[in-house]
Amino acid sequence: MPENDPDETLKDRTVPLHELAQRKAPRIFGGYELRGELGRGGMGVVYRAHQMTLKRMVALKMLTGDYVADDVLRFRAEAEMAAGLQHPNIVHIHEVGEEDGVPFFSMEFVEGGTLGDLLLRGLPAPKQAAEMMMTLARAMHYAHRQGVVHRDMKPGNVLIGSQGEIKIADFGIAKRIDGEGSMTLSGAVMGTPVYMAPEQARGHSRKVGPAADVYALGALFYHLLSGRPPFLPDESDTALTLRVLQEDPVSPAWHRPEVPRDLETICLKALQKEPADRYSSADAMAEDLRRYLGDEPILAHPPTKIVRTVKWVKRHPLRLTLLLLLAGLLGAGGQRWWQWECPLLVRPATRLPAIPPRRRPVDRSPAPGKPHRQRPAPRTHAAQGRTHARTPRHGLRRSHRQRFAHLPLQPLRPLQSVSRRGAGRETHQFLLARLASPGGLLERSVS
């Protein structure tokens, strides 16, 4: 942004006091010369200013509008947490103070703009996007090691310097991992919905930890790869928060087919609904990105169909119940229809295949020069006074087909439409008629 004339006055958008509400802002504020507005949020505004004592350009943030004591405490907590982070990819805090009852702090001025401005000009190449995300993930991991959770990662809070350096800014709603210094009430939803983790969207501020920032990094990576956030409020009738809680985002390769499969896997793993299913830390995500950039196999794997099904069941128990009830009703109805209404097609009777010829009897006569072994005499039945030859064993092993093969076969008439009970009754009558036919088994037993 070009510098304005120092003599040009700026409109007051910073001083909340009623006596200064309608006046123009002073050109000098607490040892800083205001030279233009960089941006504004819900309760603060950021100016581009010149620090007169050290002769350097800074970004000056101060409260604006009607604020209460809790807003002042949150503003000071932001300054304190950001001041304790000394990392080359996190914006540095220079001074924290108060001027005429207005709290402010000055920080490092990054001249290149935000990541949102870069996305408006065009999408970076997938490899460049991976390099940027690796840098952001390592900086976020440093903040987590210092006990700070950002909770509002989005393109507007990522600054890009004139030399291409990337810096994380705006710790306005950040919290301490140990719970100290957090001004967020339980149940309050704070953050940007399209980049917000599911546990953060539920309002569980106590459960929001480093895993929420990993999800936000995944959502930011999704935007870099596909040109849009994972969810948009105007693309569905379902509420955005409900979609963040229940729906899985489509693959970034669906919006941009040239996205590599490994980057797609890394992005979707960071966007898992359950914190335990994401990367264990921002550093683990940065390591996978490093492995991709180094042409090494990544550690993340895409979820299988079974895993996706189990996750869908956990998120939609009511839908599963309805599907099971519907399947049970359809199964019962189909069984009823098959039992009473389905016709049976009976094939015409065909003659059984002929019995294969018996094998030739084996000549068991003794070899020349060997004595012939006499068979034992047949047993006698003293009561009847008759001699019965012993039934050979192989006669008891005759198959069912050989027993009834000599009976005459009569062709069956085809049944057009009979039930199972009718078919069983018809089969029974056929067997009785066959047994009672001339030369049948019943006639032989009587004779």
Contacting residues for 92 by C-beta, under 8 A, at least 6 apart:
86, 107, 108
Q: What is the longest distance spanned by two Cα atoms in the chain?
A: 147
Contacting residues for 259 by C-beta, under 8 A, at least 6 apart:
126, 225, 226, 251, 252, 253
Chain center to CA of 82: 34
For CA atoms 311, 315, 316, 320, the dihedral sign is: positive
Judge contact between 75 and 103, C-beta under 8 A. Answer: yes
Query: If DSSP codes are grouped into helix, strand and coil, which group holds residue 319?
Result: helix
Q: How far apart are CA 130 and CA 266, in angstroms?
A: 10
Q: Which residues pair with 327 in a beta bridge?
A: none
Contacting residues for 335 by C-beta, under 8 A, at least 6 apart:
none
Judge contact between 137 and 131, C-beta under 8 A. Answer: no
**In 21-99, which residue ranges form alpha helices assigned H by DSSP?**
69-83
Q: How far apart are CA 436 and CA 407, in angstroms?
A: 10
Give catalytic residue positions. Answer: 152
